[in-house]
Amino acid sequence: MKTINNIILLCGILCLSACSDEFLDLSPRGSDTENNFYQTEEEIFQGLIAAYDPLTWGGTAGWTMALGLLNAASDDCHAGGSDASDQPAWVAFDRFTLTPDLGPQEGLWGKYYTGIARCNLILEKIAENTELSDQFRNRSIAEAKFLRAYYYFDLVRFFGNVVLTTDRISPDEIGGQTQSSKEETYALIIADLTDAYNTFELPTSLVPSEFGRVSKMAVTALLGKVLLYEGTNEGMSRAADLFEEVINSGQYILESDFSRIFAFDNEWGVESIWEIQFSGAQTGGWENFENQTEGNYNTQFFGMRDYVGPDFATGWSFCPVSLELVNAMQNDPRFEHTIIDGSALKQDGASYTEGFQNTDYFIRKYAGLQANVATEGEPALNWGNNERVIRLADVYLMAAECIMRVGGDEGKARSYVNLVRGRVNLQPIANSGSSLLDAIYRERRLELATEGHRFFDLVRTGQASQVLEGFAENKNEVLPIPQREIDLTGGSLQQNPGY
């Protein structure tokens, strides 16, 4: 299996910063090239870090941060920005007016396949090197396979039928590449994660100096999530067991104070299973905004435009929160920690410029605070807010869903939902049967609002066309294949239906 990737990858010239908060920071390494690099464990490790690096990319062929885009495509948020012409790709995803040439697809496709190519490269170099210790070799392989699976999981959810690769090809081999089915892609993802899961050398938990790397529990949780999305009864039954393993590991507890989950000084908190590590220490500027600052661009996008007032930093007013979500959370204790009420701020003397699709409500979980503005470089590009990818509340709710969908123990499923609700002092539910499954879906929306889960949740449960305005069934479940990629292969790639 091979891939389309016309980017020359010289991962061996990259080196790692020693600071754990800068786990993914990369910098030039003189004149080293692929042919004379990867000779030592240190050099192999630097190549592994290069495979992690695309996780943080938000500037590939435009602003292509998956978190923000998924919020805009869901009923949690709108696209926003200064006006309708600010980021047309975001507006097209929000309104489902995507075309092969309009949308975020080129950037998403490019960065995920760059990540995959880097994983394939480091796996190849590890296989060639006979001097590595078993401990280092096996852990590195497990991490690279996790990352390849993660990139493919996003690709299959965003695009459906994609090109599979476990090796590298030269640019002149690009033509003639074809896509594999979703079933084949899921099989590779599950195989990679299963290999990582069975790796003894992968630690169950991380010490602070390794925050940003993959642990055994992150692998376990992601494998369960993939099996849930794959959607077979056998897979969901196994997923339920995997989620139970995470829950019973003793490694995580629900954060007692919901407001602390996304606090800047509480990254890798007691509830966090895996985070994408960002850093504001690169002092990057506009000359290197395209994937080189290691900052979280979502934070800048979500902020109130031209904001003047206490606590919050100014931003660009993307992803204004929808009134549908505001109304759904109106009496929920999580509201104030999920949504910023701009009207209330204005009443207290603050001000901001109303952007496109303004609702006066903004994302709180990833909001930039004045106290955390980078003091060097371009502040807009150097937010260090980590992205919480998998946390315990999500695992509880996925476990409850799997149990219900395979006809398992309703009492256990209900207890998991009530643990999540009880953390914010909500009354326990007593639902059963289909009513309980509906309650699980509803709890996912409220607990995980604006965290990027909602769009894919609606698609995989068949609710998207009933909930999302402009969404067309059998089309908008996936993005169009980038026209540029179809052209590069001479037309051997097939466009998704409806585009």
Report pTM: 0.93
Name the fold adopted by 11-64+104-202: 1.25.40
Helix, strand, or coil (residue 390): strand
Rounded Cα gap, residues 252 and 262, in angstroms:
16
Question: Phi and psi dihedrals of 272, rounded to 5?
Answer: -85, 125
Closest CA to 162 of 497, 499, 495, 498: 495
pLDDT of the chain along its 499 residues, tens only?
Answer: 333 333 323 332 233 332 334 343 444 344 467 778 999 999 999 999 999 999 999 999 999 999 999 999 999 999 999 999 999 999 999 999 999 999 999 999 999 999 999 999 999 999 999 999 999 999 999 999 999 999 999 999 999 999 999 987 667 666 778 999 999 999 999 999 999 999 999 999 999 999 999 999 999 999 999 999 999 999 999 999 999 999 999 999 999 999 999 999 999 999 999 999 999 887 778 887 776 788 999 999 999 999 999 999 999 999 999 999 999 999 999 999 999 999 999 999 999 999 999 999 999 999 999 999 998 889 999 999 999 999 999 999 999 999 999 999 999 999 999 999 999 999 999 999 999 999 999 999 999 999 999 999 999 999 999 999 999 999 999 999 999 999 988 899 999 999 9
> For the chain, what is the radius of gyration of the CA atoms?
22
Task: Give the CA count within 13 Å in the CB-facing half-sphere of 182.
Answer: 16
Rounded Cα gap, residues 293 and 287, in angstroms:
10
The segment(s) of the chain belonging to CATH 1.25.40.890 are: 11-64+104-202
Please answer whether residues 381 and 232 qualify as being in contact, where contact means their C-beta atoms are separated by less than 8 angstroms: no
